[in-house]
Structure 1
């Protein structure tokens, strides 16, 4: 086996020698080393296809050190989709189209594309909230039917730009997070005023509109369930862990970046739901987790891991809120689940080794 076939390159957005998730990549490097796999980090913009080399960083002797490495045969994509991603996307696609490179998984597109794939499954479709691309008529239609709506950017993260809109008579009350991720609350007296405000807020970006769902505890604390599923060392899907993320009462989302907290799922369900409802929730969660990863992979192409965010409304119904192909792992540290934390880090290396063995 050639040297580059025993190496795993992590692509991420680098600004000089600065990149996020250094702690996670350090652990991946050390786990990879034990498995005989060389792990290093690089920007997709720092690839020289003529020499088949990359400029990147490797964790050695207690520090991240820069160097030039052979273009790896296996790549773990951790380029988060955000405002700067458009500068990286063409370079990521060039790597994806290289016949001698295998990506552990291909990143999912925006929320709308994922919704359009999942709705093809009769089982998953019943857990998807009614969702449309945003337009002012669609918003009014949703408000007329449900009284409240949520709008969200198709490529947003961390709850940024998610807004709840409640209609009372001719007035509209807006609560959510602005584009700087700051919470805000605003009342607008007319439909024209609402349209003018939202036109400025949305700008040229694409948003979705959905009915507002009561995804909160009886005392009004927003929450969701984060399920992390990953490919294991046999190339099969496995559930790494489940945890509840709780937001602030002033917030409409449970995102940890908005100052949220975490709780173990069984304890949380026991506190807030009857035994009968709890068992229904757990059964549906198991069905969802068994169906979604393989179905989405058939529609989308190879995936390595998914963070599935599931809402539970006050009646105990579950809803698929979001599916993320570049999930974080913080929640398992917050609930002190060492097994899930360890698995969340080791599984990508195990899956990489599986692909290398079966190349």
Structure 2
């Protein structure tokens, strides 16, 4: 097997030598090297398709060193979608269409598209909150029906731009996080003010609207459950870990980037729910972890890992809040789960090994 056929390129956004998740990529590199695989980080904008090479960075001798690499046989897509993704998209698509390159998985396109796919599943559709594309009419309709709604950007991450709007005696109250991920609360006098607020806050970006679900503890602490599922070294889906993320009481979201904390799932559920409800919640979450990845892959195409965010309301009902194809792993370090932490790092390399063997019929 040629050297480039034993290579794994981590595709991400690089500004020179600056890129996020360096600690994670360092661990992937060292684990891959132990198993005869060369791992490096690159930006899709640095690919030279004529020479089939790419400028990137490899962790060696204690630091990230620049180099020019042959295009890798396998690509691990960590190119997070956001407002500037349009600058990367043409290069990503050209790599995806290259017959000599295999992507470990293809990134999900957005919250609305994922929601539309999951509504087709008989087992999962009932766990999805009612969801619509945001307009003043859909906000007003849901406010009339539920009294409070949540608006969220279609392509947002880390809880940024998620806002609860609820009716009050004197008008409306908007609570959430702005574009700088800072918490805010605003009182709005009337429907004309609400229209102005929504137009200004969304500012041309596409948003979704859902009923506000009471996803908090009895003392008002928002929380959700992060479930990490990944492909293993046999090409099968496996649950790596589950953990609760708790947010600030001033916030409506529990994302760790907003100052949240983490706890093990079972201990948390036993504190806040009766045994029968606790058992039912865990059973439902396990069913979601088993069924969702396979169903989504059938609709979407190959995936390598998913972060499934599950909400549990005050009545013990389980809701699928969000599915992320480029999930973070911080939560398992915070709850001191060494097995989940280790697997979260090693599984992508194991799956890459599996795909390499599939490509060449064994070493």
* TM superposition score normalised by structure 2: 0.98
Please tell me whether residue 180 in structure 1 is matched to residue 180 in structure 2: yes
Partner of 1:122: 122
Partner of 1:228: 228
Aligned to 1:84, what secondary structure does the other structure show? helix
Q: 5 Å matches for 1:76-87?
A: 76-87=76-87
| Alpha-carbon distance in structure 1 between the residues aligned to 2:170 and 2:356 | 62
Q: Which moved more, 1:279-288 or 1:161-170?
A: 161-170
| Alpha-carbon distance in structure 1 between the residues aligned to 2:202 and 2:282 | 37
Partner of 2:164: 164
Q: Which moved more, 1:88-97 or 1:297-306?
A: 88-97
Partner of 2:145: 145
Q: 5 Å matches for 1:1-359?
A: 1-169=1-169, 171-359=171-359
The alpha-carbon deviation at position 341 of structure 1 amounts to: 0.3
- Please list every run of at least 4 consecutive aligned residues from structure 1 whose deviation after the TM superposition is greater than 3 angstroms: none
Does structure 2 retain, via aligned residues, the 8 Å contact 1:188–1:194? yes
Count of residues in Structure 1 that have an aligned counterpart in Structure 2: 359
Unpaired runs of at least 5, structure 2: none
| Alpha-carbon distance in structure 1 between the residues aligned to 2:188 and 2:259 | 27
The alpha-carbon deviation at position 280 of structure 1 amounts to: 0.5
Does structure 2 retain, via aligned residues, the 8 Å contact 1:170–1:191? no
| Alpha-carbon distance in structure 1 between the residues aligned to 2:3 and 2:50 | 18
* TM superposition score normalised by structure 1: 0.99
| Alpha-carbon distance in structure 2 between the residues aligned to 1:272 and 1:238 | 27
The alpha-carbon deviation at position 180 of structure 1 amounts to: 1.3
Unpaired runs of at least 5, structure 1: none
Alignment RMSD (CA, Å): 0.7
The alpha-carbon deviation at position 170 of structure 1 amounts to: 5.6
| Alpha-carbon distance in structure 1 between the residues aligned to 2:53 and 2:179 | 38
| Alpha-carbon distance in structure 2 between the residues aligned to 1:111 and 1:180 | 21
| Alpha-carbon distance in structure 2 between the residues aligned to 1:182 and 1:86 | 26
Aligned to 1:122, what secondary structure does the other structure show? coil
